[in-house]
Amino acid sequence: MPKDLQDHICDDALFSKAFRTHADHLYKFLFYKFGSQLNPKDKVQEAFIKLWENCKKVPPSKAKSYLFTVANNLMLNEVAHQKIVLKHQQTQQRSHSNESPEFLMQEKEYQEKLENAINNLSEAQRVAFLMNRAEGKKFKEIAFILDISVKAVEKRIYGALEKLRKDIKEI
Amino acid sequence: MDREQLIHKWLNHELTPEEFEAFKSLDDYEELMKLSQNIQSYKAPSYDLNQELAIALNRKNGTSKKRSWMVPFMKFAAVLVICLGIFYVLTTQPTSTHTAIAERAELELPDDSHVTLNALSNLTYNKNNWNKERKVSLDGEAFFKVEKGSKFEVITNFGIVSVLGTQFNIKQREHFFEVTCYEGSVNVLYKQKNTVLKKGDTFLIIDGEILATEKENKKQPSWLDYLSSFKSMPFREVIAEMERQYDVSIKVKGMDLKTPFTGSFPNNNLEVALKTISKPLQLNVKQKGQTIILTRD
């Protein structure tokens, strides 16, 4: 691992660089783990302000784990009061308007089952699986973001896929 | 290529066009595609990195600016609060004087009023408030010579003694409360009842009962001349007073402690004092170090 030239991050350029590198990943991580009710965007902002306040103690190489830990803790402080529910976006465009009522009903039923199934996944499975399917990220990228091995990512994604298929098949 | 490998490649977004054709022919192709497509609606809303970075930079500059003057200001404020606190405590603390066994103290109050404190007594007053109200708390026995002026109050567990300018003695014990006026007049507030004492009058309570007493002819209490005097006092009060004046512990055997006693004993000679109280009651005296045993034949 290359040694840091800087032992702190108290500099606008370094701070901006850290933001560009980690903010989007952090936001996605929080969104898929905790849903949108707890304001993942705000938590990202708060985590970076905390980073700035403690910039003397955090070298750039530690910035990522610092940010993820802080943001995760911020979420956990609130999560005790609210149940996490991921909802699908209703704004999904409909390409066909000539579908039969039966088909529409089946679709609706499927989506309800899917929503339940996704919320029944473990947090780890949900984050990995949605990063893979909804964000289109490869195993390696997810492994890098979550700081875990590729094998662990595969295990989570396969586990999630199996669980979702099973839950949806059940009536 | 087998099914497992195709699904693995599909999941990892690395199917080539030919492999995708093979993937299409799998039994569960439809199911997987439907699931995958529906998952798209769970995609996180887009994140505008530049806009969010601008907000973060703005907020961080705001907080650092705030911190730069807040921290020294808070330090300064904390020191100020501590200083004010110490000043307040030092200047408003009541002044307290305490005497031990066989000890007495003479003190001048801020208005030149004079107090003599007998053994094992405690007097507390507030210097700062003195101009507004002349008020002292007493636990024990003391003789007051009060300068003329506004109302002077002595607060005791039994009641409040208030005067304008006079000389009086207060004696307060566990079951016993005595106020004697030697000059001017004194008001005693006991159980919401006021009693006015003229020169020579004594207000006496033993075990909660107000007792009548003779006129006092002396100019000042006898204890100021190192003599403890008693007029028809229960004997236990005499014993208790002797224990206060000399550092001894006294045990009495074969005698009712409520027996009235009239007489006095000196405060500066234990041998004479013991004789003075034992002879009239025909008591034998035995002394073992600090313990004295009085027995009746």
Task: Round to whole Å and give the CA distance between A116 and A86.
Answer: 9
Substitution target from A36, A52, A115, A155 for chain B, most B beta carbons within 10 A: A52
CB atoms within 10 A of CB B260: 12
* Domain ranges, ordered by start, for chain B: 3-38, 47-93, 95-211, 227-296
Q: Chain B 113-172, CB below 8 Å of chain A: which residues? A: none
Confidence of residue A93 (pLDDT cuts 50, 70, 90): very low
| Residue from B3, B43, B67, B70 to probe the interface with A (highest A Cβ count within 10 Å) | B43
Residue A166: strand, helix, or coil: helix
pLDDT at A7: 75
Of B43, B53, B55, the CB nearest to A16: B53
The pLDDT tens digits along chain B (297 residues) read 688 888 888 988 888 888 888 888 888 888 888 888 888 888 888 888 888 888 888 888 776 555 567 778 888 999 999 999 998 887 777 888 888 888 888 888 888 888 998 888 999 888 877 888 888 999 988 998 888 878 888 988 888 888 877 888 888 888 888 888 888 888 888 888 888 888 888 888 888 778 777 777 777 888 888 888 888 888 888 888 888 888 888 888 877 888 888 888 888 888 888 888 888 878 888 888 888 888 876
pLDDT-based confidence at residue A84 (cuts at 50, 70, 90): low
A120-156 residue pLDDT tens: 888 899 999 999 999 999 999 999 999 999 999 999 9
* B53 touches A: beta carbon within 8 Å: yes
pLDDT reading at A116 higher than 70: yes
pLDDT for position A77: 83
Best of A10, A11, A88, A163 to substitute, by most chain B Cβ atoms within 10 angstroms, is A88
| Candidate from B42, B49, B64 with C-beta closest to A88 | B42
Position A5 pLDDT exceeds 90: no
Task: Please say whether the structural domain B95-211 has been given the CATH code 2.30.30.30.
Answer: no
Chain A interface includes B4 (CB < 8 A)? no
Selected residues 63-92 of chain B with any CB under 8 Å from a CB in chain A: 63-64, 67
CA distance linking residue A63 with residue B104, whole number of Å: 73
Q: Would you state the pLDDT for residue A140?
A: 92
Please give the structure tokens belonging to residue A135. Answer: 């964000």
Close Cβ partners of B255 (under 8 Å, ≥ 6 residues apart): B235, B281, B283, B294, B296
Please give the pLDDT value at position A91: 45
Q: Work out the pLDDT band at A1, boundaries 50, 70, 90.
A: very low
CB contact under 8 A, B12 and A139: yes
| Tens-place pLDDT, residues B73-87 | 888 999 999 999 998
Q: In angstroms, rounded to a whole number, what is the distance separating the alpha carbons of residues B187 and B19?
A: 113
The position carrying tokens 């899917």 is A114
**Selected residue of A27, A91, A133 to mutate for chain B interface (largest B Cβ count, 10 A):** A133
Model confidence pLDDT, tens digit, residues B192-240:
888 888 888 888 888 877 877 777 777 788 888 888 888 888 888 888 8
**Ramachandran region of residue B108, left (φ > 0), alpha (ψ -120 to 50) or beta?**
beta
Banded pLDDT at A92 (limits 50, 70, 90) = very low
Give the pLDDT band of residue A96 (cuts 50, 70, 90): low
CB contact under 8 A, A92 and B53: no
Chain B residues inside the 8 Å CB shell of A53: 63, 67
DSSP A4: P
Residues of A in contact with B31 (CB under 8 A): 165
CB contact at 8 A, B151 and B134: yes
B12/A138 Cβ within 8 A: yes
Q: Does A18 touch chain B (CB under 8 A)?
A: no
Q: Give the closest of A41, A49, A130 to B39, CB-based.
A: A130
Cβ atoms within 10 Å, residue B39: 18
In which region does residue A84 sit, left (phi positive, over 0), alpha (psi from -120 to 50) or beta (all else)?
Answer: beta
High-pLDDT (> 90) share of chain B, % = 3
* Window 74-113 of A, Cβ < 8 Å to B: 86, 88-89, 92, 110-111
- For residue A91, the chain B residue with the least C-alpha distance is B41
Residue A36: pLDDT over 90: no
Indicate the CATH number for domain B227-296. 3.55.50.30
Q: Which residue of chain A has the CA closest to B50?
A: A20
Q: Which residues 6+ apart lie within 8 Å of B201 measured at CB?
A: B180, B181, B215, B216
Q: Which residues from B are below 8 Å from A31, CB to CB?
A: 44-45
- Residue window 118-137, chain A: list those with CB within 8 Å of chain B: 118, 129-130, 132-137
B-chain CB neighbours of A165 within 8 Å are 31, 35
DSSP conformation letters of chain B? --HHHHHHHHHTT---HHHHHHHHTSTTHHHHHHHHHHHGGGPPPP--HHHHHHHHHHHHHHHHHHHHHHHHHHHHHHHHHHHHHHHHHHHHSPEEEE--TT--EEEE-TTS-EEEE-SS-EEEE-STTTTT-EEEEEESEEEEEPPSSS-EEEE-SSEEEEESS-EEEEEEETTEEEEEEEES-EEEEETTEEEEE-TT-EEEEETTEEE--PPP--SS-GGGGTEEEEEEEEHHHHHHHHHHHSS-EEEEESS-TT-EEEEEEESS-HHHHHHHHHTTTTEEEEEETTEEEEEE-
